[in-house]
Amino acid sequence: MIRPYSPADKQAVMSIWRDTSAVAHPFLGSEFMSEAENLIRDTLLDMAEIWVAEKDGIPIGFIALIGHEVGGLFVRPEHHGHGIGQALMDQAVQRKGGLELDVFRENTRARQFYTRYGLTEGAERLDDASGQYVLRMTYTPA
């Protein structure tokens, strides 16, 4: 089931973010991750339109949208490959139509997922905060 985020979900969403980031972003330093966690928890969750995926009433993934921008898509690692990410992307496309996002170049699994979903890779740039390259990806509905 996919439902809107509520403030009561903050702890669960942050746990999903931490667990998934540990798998998806091992190339990011601990200082950067700590700062990112603070920014997400204290600012971005309140700015974004967030949809939460649940299984048996337990949050297992979420997608955060700011306008047509996917600020983050995170699914607990043990639920990867079960269609949760696709369902969250479907929700975003249904609500927004075209989408854009940045993905770390080193995050090959996410890049493959987004490519399979139909996003196309665009410009690459160096992210000053992380020191990593990110790729801009876009989705245009058929």
Overall average pLDDT of the 59-65 stretch: 98
- The domain of 65 spans 2-139
Give the tens place of pLDDT for each residue, 78-122: 999 999 999 999 999 999 999 999 999 999 999 999 999 999 999
Counting the structural domains of the chain, the total is: 1
Look at residue 7 and tell me whether its pLDDT is greater than 90: yes
Q: Return d(Cα 120, Cα 131) in angstroms, integer.
A: 23
**142 — pLDDT class (breaks 50, 70, 90):** confident
Q: Which CATH number fits the domain that encloses residue 23?
A: 3.40.630.30
- State residue 22's pLDDT score: 92
Taking the complete model, does pTM exceed 0.75, yes or no? yes
pLDDT tens figures, 9-55: 999 999 999 999 999 999 998 999 999 999 999 999 999 999 999 99
**Cβ-proximal residues to 99 (8 Å cutoff; 6+ apart), any chain:** 68, 69, 70, 89, 92, 93, 119, 138, 139
